[in-house]
Amino acid sequence: MVEVTLPYEFVGGSKAIANQVNANFEAISRGFTGVNVALEELKAEVEKFNNKPLRDSFDIIVSLIGTAPVGAYPLWTGEWIYNARSIYKDFWNKALEYKKGSKIRNLSNSEYEAEIEEYGETGAFVIDELNGHIRLPKILHFVSGLSDLAELGKPAHDSLPEHTHKVYQRNGTYGASSSIYQALGPLTSVSEADGTFETGSVSNEDETLHLGSEVAPKHIKCALYIQVANNTAEISALDTSVIANELSEAIEAVAAKGDETLAEITSLTQEKVDLINQTTTTDVGFVETAGSEQIALVAAKGDEKIAAAQNWAIGDLAVCAQGSAKYWADQAKNNVNGQELVVPLETSSGEVSLESNNIYKLVCSGPVSFVLPSSVDNSIHNQIKVMVNMPEVYSVDWGTNGRYFNNDTPDVSETGNYDFYFDYDAIAEAWVAGALKKGA
């Protein structure tokens, strides 16, 4: 809170001097200046989170780093994002919009699997509108441009253009041009009529050929990610633009109130100074007493206004039940870097307690037993996600009393990274668990 100290104190019976009264007024004015400085600092904070560079959902990221950017998923695993409709609303809505406008390729899960079986990869999505899940494309090889949007997301087989080789026969014996002979070996037989030859098998004995299971040019392998969490528009509690507008309006209101109070104090002070200077000697005692009372009243009123304005601008919940402008700015700033905060779990083995509608990360150091919320509001959707690293294989007690997705106990029999999901079934009034292995 900005404190105001008056340099002069007036006592009844003594003459009030105009410049002393003005000095007291200037002290009050400096108090309001302190409020204005606090308001300018608040404006600067608003500008910081308004101008921060962020990513939009569906952005594709090519990276030489093996760690996924915040809010992004890998594009080489073909994994499902369960409950995307609830967790990543902006991504879900865009997927439906792009599907409707034929801006992305969409397949059923069986068609997706068939394409993986034939090509080893696919650029298509699977959008499960009934359950709110999305399966991402699986891209392992090269990408290319297209000549028609109808080709978008379609895989292609290895291919070579049709071509011929010319070989030669000398005096009825087998022979070949030097380049074919070196690459393919000596000719093994000759047809009797048409002069064509069958060559020996291709080998790599001199290491001039690089044999493999598919045709491929030289290349560098990079990690492909797709941005799922839209942190340009969504904040978990409040919208950035709305906050900015509300705070700007609130700041202007506080500043206007300060100007109004200053004008009121100026008017009252000047009236009392004029009255004191016009009073005759016989009325000095009365005027000075009245003047001191009014000056004290003005100072008290100024303190009251300054305290109210300061509490509203930069106070905390203890003095401002609805939250000050600075409080809401801090709340918005804390949420601006991602759609959902990822909470590190301090316990890495034994009992691990989880709360509804949170995303956690966990590095296991031993067997884990999850403790799930027992009191759940089943009028809303409740889900928990835990991103897990298992450096060794440990047992997991899921805490769901044998309730699992697809009635299958989650398989965590390998080391590596997993996503554990816990959904609260509002019909059965019970938690259900599942796990997804991540990585190639």
Q: Residue 9 falls within a domain, yes or no? A: no
For 228-271, the pLDDT digits (tens) are 987 665 443 344 555 556 666 766 776 676 677 777 777 777 77
Residues 141 and 130 in one domain: yes
Q: Residue 8 falls within a domain, yes or no? A: no
Q: Which residue has the higher pLDDT, 110 or 31?
A: 110
If DSSP codes are grouped into helix, strand and coil, which group holds residue 169?
Answer: strand
Which of 400, 414, 396 is closest to 348 using CA atoms? 396
Domain range enclosing 105: 60-158+218-227
Q: Residue 104 falls within a domain, yes or no? A: yes
Residues 245 and 194 in one domain: no
Q: Residue 13 falls within a domain, yes or no? A: no
Residues 352 and 432 in one domain: yes
Please say which residue of 227, 249, 278 terminates a domain.
227
Strand ranges (DSSP E) for 142-295? 169-170, 173-174, 187-190, 197-199, 223-227
Residues 188 and 223 in one domain: no
pLDDT at 150: 81
What does DSSP assign to residue 141? S
If DSSP codes are grouped into helix, strand and coil, which group holds residue 204?
Answer: coil
pLDDT at 236: 38
Residues 289 and 397 in one domain: no
Residues 291 and 386 in one domain: no
Distance, in Å, from the CA atom of 144 to the CA atom of 199, rounded to the nearest integer, reads 35
If DSSP codes are grouped into helix, strand and coil, which group holds residue 244?
Answer: helix
Q: How far is CA 131 from the centre of its chain?
A: 23
Distance, in Å, from the CA atom of 371 to the CA atom of 354, rounded to the nearest integer, reads 6
Residues 169 and 141 in one domain: no
Residues 89 and 223 in one domain: yes
Integer angstrom CA distances of residue 231 from 44, 49, 261, 356: 20, 11, 41, 22
Residues 273 and 258 in one domain: yes
Please say which residue of 281, 303, 335 terminates a domain.
335
If DSSP codes are grouped into helix, strand and coil, which group holds residue 295?
Answer: helix
Distance, in Å, from the CA atom of 355 to the CA atom of 290, rounded to the nearest integer, reads 64
Residues 79 and 26 in one domain: no
Q: Residue 232 falls within a domain, yes or no? A: no
pLDDT at 92: 96
Q: Residue 12 falls within a domain, yes or no? A: no
For 73-121, the pLDDT digits (tens) are 999 999 999 999 998 999 999 999 999 999 999 999 999 999 999 999 9
If DSSP codes are grouped into helix, strand and coil, which group holds residue 241?
Answer: helix
Domain count, the chain: 4
Distance, in Å, from the CA atom of 419 to the CA atom of 436, rounded to the nearest integer, reads 5
Please say which residue of 227, 255, 274 terminates a domain.
227
In this structure, are residues 340 and 360 in contact, taking their beta carbons and an 8 Å threshold? no
Integer angstrom CA distances of residue 247 from 242, 244, 339, 425: 8, 5, 21, 40
Q: Residues 404, 127, 436, CA angle at the centre, nearest 5°?
A: 35
Residues 121 and 223 in one domain: yes
Whether the pTM exceeds 0.75: the reply is: no
Q: What is the DSSP string of 303-343?
A: HHHHHHHHHHHH--TTT-TT--HHHHHHHHHHHTT-SSPEE
For 270-283, the pLDDT digits (tens) are 777 776 666 555 55
Distance, in Å, from the CA atom of 74 to the CA atom of 226, rounded to the nearest integer, reads 6
Distance, in Å, from the CA atom of 301 to the CA atom of 307, rounded to the nearest integer, reads 10
Integer angstrom CA distances of residue 88 from 137, 235, 236, 370: 17, 11, 11, 25
What confidence tier does 305 reach under pLDDT thresholds 50, 70, 90?
Answer: confident
Residues 65 and 151 in one domain: yes
As a whole number of Å, the end-to-end CA separation of the chain is 58
